[in-house]
Amino acid sequence: MGPRTHAARFLCCRLFEGRQRGVDGVRIKTLLSRLCGLGREVVIESWILWDRRARSCLEVAVRHRARRRSRCGRCGVIAPLYDRGGGLRRWRHVDIGFGTCELVGAAPRVDCPEHGPTVAEVVWARHGSWFSRAFEDLVVHDAIVGNKAAAADRYGISWRAVNNMCVRVAQEALGRVDLLDGLVAVAIDEVKYRRGTAT
């Protein structure tokens, strides 16, 4: 048996082994979870690969672990479930290889003491977004190191979508930072002010 035949047999064994391990779905779900970067809080229920247009799309159905309590999507406070909301929702996720990836999951509403009926928080996406948290982080990073138009073109989304992502990421970051922490005095930069008004 020559080296090429041996290599072919070895490859076949590896592929078969992969299929065998995937029969019960456990290892494939683990693989998908790693590739999608979903973390331990998220359970993959199922997946399906679609051939859409020129690119394949991996659709992954996700949910939170059962022990996780429902929280308000706006403030994060634990709140009782209100209703099923708009049913299943879809979030565009980070591309996997040459294919796109979408997360699909329920988006029920909770009854927040402050905000009333509001879509519940999901760990994989920011409130009010059609994109996953990881995808937004990636696009915003590209928009910062380059520009919003280039980021929009690269990911096939609108400039407005990129801008909205930047706003959400900035709001989240500002929510974690007290801008007045350590402030001793407030002064107006007169030079900067004049320069700004002159242009």
115, 137, 159, 166: which one contacts Zn ion (CB under 5 A)? 115
Query: For residues 27-60, b (16+ Cβ closer than 10 Å) or e, as one string?
Result: ebbeebbeebebeeebbbeebeeeeeeeeebbbb
Q: How many Å from the N-terminal Cα to the C-terminal Cα in the chain?
A: 78
Q: Does residue 127 bind Zn ion (CB under 5 A)? A: no
Distance CA 45, CA 54 (A): 26
For Zn ion, the closer CB: 21 or 74: 74
Using CB under 5 A as the binding rule, whether residue 112 contacts Zn ion is answered as yes
Question: Is-contact 36 94, C-beta < 8 A?
Answer: yes
User: By CB under 5 A, what part of segment 55-94 binds Zn ion?
Assistant: 72, 74-75
Q: Please, what is the minimum distance in Å from the beta carbon of residue 121 to Zn ion?
A: 9
In the bound state with Zn ion, the residue whose beta carbon lies nearer, of 22 and 116, is 116
Is 102:93 a contact under the CB 8 Å cutoff? yes
Residue 70 CB, nearest approach to Zn ion (Å): 11
The C-alpha atoms of residue 19 and residue 14 are separated, in whole angstroms, by 9
Closest approach, Cβ 120 to Zn ion, in A, equals: 10
Three-class DSSP category at 44: strand
Q: Determine the interface stretch with Zn ion among 112-120, 143-151, 162-170, 180-188 (rule: CB under 5 A).
A: 112-120
Between 70 and 100, CB nearer to Zn ion: 70
Task: Please report whether residue 114 would count as binding Zn ion according to CB under 5 A.
Answer: yes
Contact residues toward Zn ion (CB under 5 A) are 72, 74-75, 112, 114-115
